[in-house]
C-alpha cells in the first residue's frame, strides 16, 4: 500500500527492508517498515537493543541505502546525506581542538562574520552555555558537551534532526536535564526530530508519537500517540497507562 504524503508530511518510509551480507552470510535486520513523520513532529523510535533502530535511522538520514523500499523527505527520494539534515551520533562528535564557539560556528563558513557571531551567540544562549564560549570540550561536563553538540547541530539551521541515543552515556540526573533542554529547544525551533532510544520513559517523556519496533528482523509493531501536554507529569494516570502499554507491547510487563 502506498503512503501518500500530505503537505504536513515530512518523511515517508515505505516497505523498508535491510539485509546485511558478509562472508556469505545474510542478516535480515529490517523487514517491511512503513512510517510517516509529520513536519515539526518529535518522533521516538523505541525497541530492544540490537533490533535495528540505528540502522533505520541511518537509512532515513541517507547514510545507508535500504535493500528494499524507499524513504522520501519532502516528497523526494533520499539518496544520501543532506546538509539540511543533521545526525547526532551516540558517540559525542564535538571537536576537542575547538572552543565552544568554534564548535558551534564550524559549519557556518558561508555566513558573514557578523552573521556567524550572531548565530553562535544565539545558540550559546539557547543551550545555556553563556560564560563558556572560550572553553574547550575537555573543560566541560558530560551534560555540557551534549548541549554543545545539540547547539552545533542546530546552528546550521537544519530542517531535520536525527538523534541516535544521544543521552545514553549520561548519568540519570543529567539525562533528565538534557531531555528538558531538548524539549525547550524543539518547542522554540520547531525542527522535525527523529530520536532513537531503548528507554521507555525517555520516549514517553519526549515524543509526540512513539514507533515501537520488534526484535530483529524488526518491523514496527505499534505507533503510540502520546496525548499528554508538555511538561509531562510522570506520575499521572495517563502517563503510567501509556508507559505500561509500551511495556506490554514489548513483552516486558511484570518483568522489571
What are the pLDDT digits (tens) for 199-223?
Answer: 999 999 999 999 999 998 999 999 9
Segment 172-198 mean pLDDT: 87
Q: Given a cut of 50, is residue 2 above it in pLDDT?
A: no
The phi, psi pair for 90, rounded to 5°, reads -60, -45
Q: Which residues in 83-100 are b (16+ Cβ under 10 Å) and which e?
A: eebbbbeeeeebeeebbb
- pLDDT classification of 180: cutoffs 50, 70, 90: confident
Q: Given a cut of 60, is residue 4 above it in pLDDT?
A: no
Segment 106-113 mean pLDDT: 88
- pLDDT classification of 7: cutoffs 50, 70, 90: low
CA distance 188 to 63: 28
Q: Distance between terminal CA atoms of the chain?
A: 38
* pTM, full prediction: 0.86
Residue 40 in contact with residue 190, Cβ under 8 Å?
Answer: yes
Grid coordinates belonging to 206: 519526549
Confidence at residue 253, expressed as pLDDT on a 0 to 100 scale: 62
Identify the CATH number of the domain defined by range 1-84+158-256: 3.40.50.300
Confidence at residue 225, expressed as pLDDT on a 0 to 100 scale: 96
Residue of higher predicted confidence among 10 and 166 = 10
Residue of higher predicted confidence among 22 and 14 = 14
Residue extent(s) of CATH 3.40.50.300 domains in the chain: 1-84+158-256
Which of 15, 33, 1, 19 shows the shortest CA–CA distance to 218?
33
Q: Given a cut of 90, is residue 9 above it in pLDDT?
A: yes
Taken in order 165, 160, 188, 34, the sign of the CA dihedral is negative
Confidence at residue 5, expressed as pLDDT on a 0 to 100 scale: 46
Lookup result for grid cell 551567540: 121
Amino acid at each position: 500500500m502506498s503512503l501518500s504524503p500530505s503537505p504536513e508530511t515530512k518523511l515517508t518510509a515505505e516497505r523498508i527492508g535491510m539485509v546485511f551480507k558478509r562472508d556469505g552470510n545474510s542478516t535480515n535486520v529490517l523487514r517491511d517498515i512503513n512510517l510517516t513523520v509529520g513536519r515539526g513532529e518529535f518522533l521516538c523510535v523505541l525497541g530492544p537493543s540490537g533490533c535495528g533502530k540505528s540502522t533505520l535511522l541511518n537509512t532515513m538520514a541517507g547514510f545507508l541505502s535500504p535493500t528494499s523500499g524507499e524513504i522520501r523527505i519532502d516528497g523526494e527520494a533520499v539518496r544520501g546525506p543532506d546538509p539540511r539534515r543533521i545526525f547526532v551520533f551516540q558517540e559525542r562528535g564535538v571537536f576537542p581542538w575547538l572552543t565552544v564557539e568554534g564548535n558551534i560556528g564550524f559549519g557556518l563558513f558561508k555566513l558573514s562574520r557578523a552573521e556567524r557571531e550572531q548565530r553562535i551567540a544565539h545558540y550559546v544562549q539557547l543551550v545555556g552555555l553563556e560564560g563558556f564560549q572560550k572553553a574547550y570540550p575537555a573543560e566541560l561536563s558530560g551534560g555540557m558537551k551534549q548541549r554543545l553538540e545539540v547547539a552545533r547541530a542546530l546552528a546550521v539551521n537544519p530542517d531535520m534532526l536525527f538523534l541516535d541515543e544521544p543521552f545514553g552515556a549520561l548519568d540519570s540526573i543529567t539525562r533528565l536535564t538534557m531531555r528538558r533542554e531538548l524539549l525547550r529547544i524543539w518547542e522554540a525551533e520547531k525542527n522535525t526530530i527523529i530520536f532513537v532510544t531503548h528507554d521507555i520513559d525517555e520516549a514517553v517523556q519526549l515524543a509526540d508519537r512513539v514507533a515501537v519496533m520488534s526484535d530483529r528482523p524488526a518491523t514496527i509493531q505499534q505507533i503510540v500517540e502520546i496525548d499528554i501536554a508538555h511538561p509531562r507529569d510522570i506520575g499521572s494516570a495517563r502517563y503510567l497507562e501509556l508507559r505500561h502499554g509500551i511495556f506490554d507491547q514489548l513483552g516486558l510487563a511484570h518483568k522489571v
